[in-house]
């Protein structure tokens, strides 16, 4: 199916006098926002996504339609397809790769462990191999995760902290990715920046994440399960609004751009969080206030496998080196999410579906 029209679409979509970026996972939540932000400021963008069925396929299709409206071409394919990547690099002559494709979620790994190996480990190697062999060799910015801090008790989490106790296979796959990135940097001289995102939320978000399915269940009058830590302690997350994350991603791409060609290829790692953790019980209270509905809550102890109780980013390094400066507090961000949610689900024929999510009751990553 890769004929002349396909090649023209890739070339046209990548065309730019500034950055030419391949965005993997472009039909995903973060990928959609980053792709549009890049295109809006004049960069060339080509997306790739395998449209996996982890959550509502219709939402990924709707995001991809949005990308098409912004003249961003999204190739339907898997990042493990080396020949596809080779063709894309040849046509797109990418200066940068924003690698966001991954199998997300922590509990899904209990039943689908190999999907994490396929997308997060083999997939990353496949992308880095393609970058290594490409001419020009692009700088890579990729999504790691706050989950690498695992069962760490020291807060706030700093990039220098230990990451040797992952609490889930997802966390382990991201930690493995950081080691793989290190290897490709020092053996092959690839410029690689890893970004540890902290619980990203906002419009066009992921239906498997707590803020999203709490909204859906509260509106339906269904009971929601709110997890508590040991001895009734709060479970809290450093919720970070999507626009702040996008600014961090663009800052990382621009910083990698400035360093390309000047000295040894850089290897960098940054926390992108909000540095303001909020208890999940407070998240629910804000949703109740904004939705003007009392939630039917059940307090439960956090399941033992997969999640950590608390996340809190130290963002001083990203502030200093990327100019990263998150500004959106949780209530403001949730208001924007709810505006989108009401609009999307009232105008879309596809109602939110719970398909294959029954064991994903709390995804924070």
Residue among 49 and 244 whose Cβ is closer to ligand NAD: 49
Q: Smallest distance from the beta carbon of 292 to ligand NAD, in angstroms?
A: 27
Q: Which residues contact 176 (CB under 8 A, 6 or more apart)?
A: 120, 121
Place of tokens 């898997």: 78
Q: Is 271 in the site for ligand NAD (CB under 6 A)?
A: no
Question: Is residue 238 close enough to count as binding ligand NAD by CB under 6 A?
Answer: no
Q: Alpha-carbon distance 344 to 352, whole Å?
A: 10
Is 328 one of the binding residues for ligand NAD (CB under 6 A)?
Answer: no
Q: Does 112 bind ligand NAD (CB under 6 A)?
A: no
Q: Stretches 97-105, 259-267, 277-285, 342-350: which one binds ligand NAD (CB under 6 A)?
A: 97-105
Q: Which is nearer to ligand NAD, 134 or 246 (CB)?
A: 246
**Is residue 144 within 8 Å of residue 194, measured between CB atoms?**
yes
- Identify the residue among 108, 157, 197, 309 touching ligand NAD (CB under 6 A): 197
Hey, which bits of 176-314 come out as E strands? Answer: 192-197, 200-201, 223-228, 236-237, 240-241, 267-272, 278-279, 296-301
Sort strands 44-49 and 20-24 into parallel, antiparallel or unpaired: parallel
Q: Distance between CA atoms of 4 and 12, rounded to whole angstroms?
A: 12
- Residue 192 binds to ligand NAD (criterion: CB under 6 A): no
Q: CA 259 to CA 198: how far, in whole Å? A: 26
Q: Pick the closer one to ligand NAD by CB: 30 or 190.
A: 30
Q: Please report how close the Cβ of residue 282 comes to ligand NAD at its closest, in angstroms.
A: 18
**Residue 184 lies near ligand NAD (rule: CB under 6 A):** no
210 binds ligand NAD (CB under 6 A): no
Give yes or no for residue 85 binding ligand NAD (CB under 6 A).
Answer: no
CA distance 365 to 318: 19
**Phi and psi torsions of 99, nearest 5°:** -95, 105
Q: Which is nearer to ligand NAD, 19 or 200 (CB)?
A: 200
Residues of this chain, 217-236, that bind ligand NAD according to CB under 6 A: none
CB of 108 to ligand NAD, least distance (A): 10
CA separation for the pair 25, 22 (Å, rounded): 10
Coil/strand/helix, residue 200: strand
Report, in Å, the least distance between residue 288 CB and ligand NAD.
22
Of 28 and 352, which CB lies nearer to ligand NAD in the complex structure?
28
278-303 as b/e, with b when 16 or more CB fall inside 10 Å? bbbeebbebbeeebeeebebeeeebe
Contact flag: residue 199 with ligand NAD (CB under 6 A): yes
Please identify every residue annotated as catalytic: 170
Of 10 and 30, which CB lies nearer to ligand NAD in the complex structure? 30
Q: Does 78 bind ligand NAD (CB under 6 A)?
A: yes
Nearer to ligand NAD, 36 or 79 (CB): 79
Beta-strand relationship, 240-241 and 73-76: unpaired
Q: How many other CB atoms are there within 10 angstroms of residue 242's CB atom?
A: 24
Helix (H, G, I), strand (E, B) or coil at 246: helix
Residues 173 and 126: their CA atoms lie apart, in Å, by 15
Q: At its nearest, how many Å lie between ligand NAD and the CB of residue 245?
A: 8
Among 43, 49, 178, 238, binds ligand NAD (CB under 6 A): 49
- Interface characters, 141-180, with ligand NAD (x: CB under 6 A): --x-x-----------------------------------
**DSSP notation for 153-182:** --SSB-TTS-----SSHHHHHHHHHHHHHH
Question: Does residue number 203 form part of the binding site for ligand NAD (CB under 6 A)?
Answer: no
Residues that bind ligand NAD (CB under 6 A): 25, 27-31, 48-52, 60, 78-80, 100-104, 119, 123, 143, 145, 197, 199-200, 206, 365
């Amino acid at each position: 199916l890769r004929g002349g029209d396909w090649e023209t679409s890739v070339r046209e979509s990548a065309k730019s006098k500034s950055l030419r970026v391949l965005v993997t996972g472009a039909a995903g939540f973060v990928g959609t926002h980053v792709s549009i932000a890049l295109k809006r400021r004049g960069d060339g963008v080509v997306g790739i996504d395998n449209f996996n069925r982890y959550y509502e396929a219709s939402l990924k299709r709707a995001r991809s339609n949005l990308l098409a409206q912004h003249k961003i071409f999204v190739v339907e394919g898997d990042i493990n397809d080396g020949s596809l990547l080779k063709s894309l690099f040849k046509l797109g002559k990418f200066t940068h790769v924003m690698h966001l494709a991954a199998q997300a979620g922590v509990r899904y790994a209990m039943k689908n462990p190999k999907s994490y190996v396929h997308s997060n480990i083999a997939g990353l190697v496949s992308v880095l191999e393609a970058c290594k062999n490409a001419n020009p060799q692009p700088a890579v910015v990729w999504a790691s995760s706050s989950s690498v801090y695992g069962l760490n008790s020291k807060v706030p989490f700093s990039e220098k902290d230990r990451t040797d106790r992952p609490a889930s296979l997802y966390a382990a796959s991201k930690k493995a990715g950081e080691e793989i990135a290190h290897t490709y940097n020092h053996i092959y001289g690839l410029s690689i920046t890893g970004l540890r995102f902290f619980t990203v939320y906002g419009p066009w978000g992921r239906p498997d994440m707590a803020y999203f399915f709490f909204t859906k269940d509260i509106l339906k009058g269904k009971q929601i399960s709110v997890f508590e830590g040991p001895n009734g302690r709060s479970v809290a997350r450093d919720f970070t609004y999507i626009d702040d994350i996008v600014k961090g991603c663009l800052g990382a791409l621009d910083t990698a751009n400035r360093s390309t060609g000047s000295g040894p290829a850089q290897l960098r790692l940054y926390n992108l969080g909000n540095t303001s953790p909020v208890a999940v019980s407070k998240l629910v209270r804000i949703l109740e206030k904004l939705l003007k509905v009392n939630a039917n809550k059940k307090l439960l102890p956090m399941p033992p496998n997969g999640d950590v109780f608390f996340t809190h980013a130290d963002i001083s390094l990203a502030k200093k080196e990327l100019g990263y400066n998150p500004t959106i507090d949780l209530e403001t961000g949730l208001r924007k999410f709810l505006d989108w949610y009401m609009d999307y689900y009232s105008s879309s024929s596809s109602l939110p579906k719970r398909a294959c999510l029954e064991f994903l009751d709390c995804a924070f990553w």
